[in-house]
A and B are shown apart, each in its own frame.
Chain A
Amino acid sequence: MNLVLEIQGVSKRFRTQRNRPATLKESFIQRLNGRLSRAAGEHWALRDISISLEKGRSLGIIGHNGAGKSTLLRLVCGLGRPTMGTIRYWGQIRSLLELGSGFQPEMTGRENLLTGGILGGLSRREVEAIQDEIIAFAELEEFIDQPVRTYSSGMYLRLAFATITHFNPDFLIIDELLAVGDSRFHQKCLDRLKSFRAAGKSLLIVSHDLDQIRASCDEVVVLEEGRILMRGDPETAIRSYYDVMRHRTEKRRAEIEGAHQPIQGNRYGTQEATVTAFRLFDGEERMTDHIYAGAPLTVELDYLRLNTVVDMACLVTIFNENHTKCFETFIPSVHSASGKLSERGSIRCHLPEVPLVPAQYYIAAGLFPTDWSFAYDHHGQIHMLHVMNENGISANVSGVLMVRPEWTVRPVDPS
């Protein structure tokens, strides 16, 4: 076994009283009251975590907000000491924790790159040697001598990502990465991570983006309330993550008054925001649940929200009858997409074409808090969508994706 990281029985306790800066006066009063310790309450962020990671493997950590992911990552990075247990690692760790931290907005990209490199453990000369390569990777040749404050957030992240990944670490820690730039650059980042793994380096990834976890991890750990809920292959782990979400939603619903009555079955949620109507339209804006393969489709849902809900995310998924996800899209924040939420409103998702083979599909749609920690209202596979055969297309198709096959058969000369 060739371990790069070994976490053994790690627990972490935070003292809750010290969540805000105390003043001397307060601490004197506490002493007078006979409470000599600085702690009033305590909170266990992690309990008995054991994880080991072999060289060349990549491990994903998923879990809801407050499940202890960040605490675990920070301990691995050596920030703070575990209350119990030990963490050992071999080789050089680099982290993408707080990507671009330590960048100074007033300094130019080149200066920040140098500082970042030296902070990352290189000597000044080493950074200068690979500087051009980093700038080329970040595609910032034109802007590198401008102050970083003039950068778009995409440019900023590109520089940060390029800087850190070029320092040739043995072990890379990535926290919520890869909302980096456009999709082409995103792909470049993923490729870079892939080449890391190919070179026998290890990754530890924390992300909310489950598709990314699925794509880049060999194994996934699900954290819930500071404990390891399970460790397994990505598919199994992600399924149990969804179970946790459902479970939390039910727990929360029990605590909330004034929410709309829940409907059982494939629908779940706290109903703090409710989908009051769900409609499908075809290309001619006719309400229908039948469309032709490759034709446009619009999903529309009306919502009603409680005052406590100021923002939400909206998700639309198409499943086939085998419950395979065919397509999914979401807006991470309705508020930032369209401004302040009215009490009632409707959200439309227009798909210019739906290239699915003719069959029956289900459309799932839901409203979630922006951290996705539970569901306001999720319509599982309730709403049907029938994709029909368009005239002129052969019916000899199956699978998921609809493309127009053109068969040719021709004889080959025996000579």
Chain B
Amino acid sequence: MTHQLDLILNLARRNFLLQFRGSLLGLLWAILLPIVQLIVFAFLFQRVVPLGINNYPVFVFTALLPWNWFSVSILSAGNLFIVHRDLVRRPNFTPSTLALVSALTNLLTYLAALPIVFVLVAMSGRAITWTVLLLPFIMLIQGTLIVGLSLFIATWNVFYRDVQQITGVAIMLLFYLTPVFYSLERVGREYRIAFTLNPMAVLVQSYRAILYEGTVPDWSELLIASSVAVAALAIGYLSYRREIQEVYDFL
């Protein structure tokens, strides 16, 4: 068990550092990319199409970081087994570890940029409340969701490369159906159910409640999101378990 942990942490650390090897700015890139996104969003929705949201940079950034964690992980999930073929083909290596490693690697990117949120919050004159202590819990739910979906996508993409294409389209659509750059209050009541069932919408709202509003997230919605996440993990793991021997033959 401790060995598995050693392995996962080491691979996550390695993959995280690997993204920045050979670049001049190095680790700064982990922070620069979301900041550039933030600037674009701030320009678009404060100047071009003003949404009238207070403290828009904090508002967007609290959602953007977890969204990036989710989308980057899911978009890379398709190639998880294919790219790490040499690891998958190693004796005594459990390929499902890769899904965990990938989720953890991208979580590190999230965590690296998280201090900026705190800085932005402080600059806006708001206080950070005790609700911050709930962050790990929300992250755990999101991590579960990511690992489950990744396992499913990684497994099936070995056999059908369409899976990755579909994932790409789905992530793009989901971005607009998740309140990252807009507020859910603008959405009509009749459409709310779609957002309640979208675990990413619930998670983003929860992060926002904790960091932007300083309140406690909506527990009933979180319960639904956790159920979806656990179901995703179960389905992902089961299809992985069922097909992994074929994956070995196929790779």
Contacts and interface: CB of A to CB of B under 8 A. Distances in A.
Interface of A: 14-15, 18, 21-25, 27, 38, 74, 77-81, 93-95, 97-98, 101-102, 104, 106-107, 111, 114-115, 118-119, 121-124, 147, 173
B14 interface: yes
Interface string B219-251: 000000000000000000000000001101110
B11 A77 contact: no
B90 to A, nearest CB: 6
Contacts of B87: 101-102, 119
3 closest pairs, A vs B, by CB? A77-B91, A101-B86, A80-B248
B10 A118 contact: yes
B159 A121 contact: no
A21 B7 contact: no
A81 B245 contact: yes
A106 B214 CA distance: 42
A124 B14 CA distance: 13
Given A14-B249, A81-B245, A119 B7 contact: yes
Nearest to A80: B248
Contact of A78 (B14, B92, B246): B92
A121 B21 CA distance: 26
B91 A95 contact: yes
A25 B166 CA distance: 13
Contacts of B17: 107
Nearest to A94: B91
Contacts of A38: 159
A318 to B, nearest CB: 41
Nearest to B160: A24
Contacts of B90: 77, 95, 97, 101-102, 119
Given A18-B159, A21-B159, A123-B2, A79 B89 contact: yes
B86 A102 contact: yes
30 contacts: A15-B249, A18-B246, A18-B250, A21-B161, A22-B159, A23-B160, A23-B161, A24-B162, A78-B91, A80-B248, A80-B249, A81-B245, A81-B248, A93-B92, A97-B89, A98-B86, A98-B89, A101-B86, A102-B90, A104-B18, A107-B18, A115-B10, A119-B87, A119-B93, A121-B92, A122-B3, A123-B2, A123-B3, A123-B6, A124-B6
**Residue picked from B2, B89, B158, B246, most chain A C-beta under 10 Å:** B89
B22 interface: yes
A57 B43 CA distance: 72
A104 B14 contact: yes
A251 B126 CA distance: 83
Nearest to A18: B250
Contacts of B161: 21, 23
Interface string B96-122: 000000000000000000000000000
Interface string B125-144: 00000000000000000000
A15 B120 CA distance: 57
Contacts of B14: 104, 107, 111, 115
A38 B246 CA distance: 11
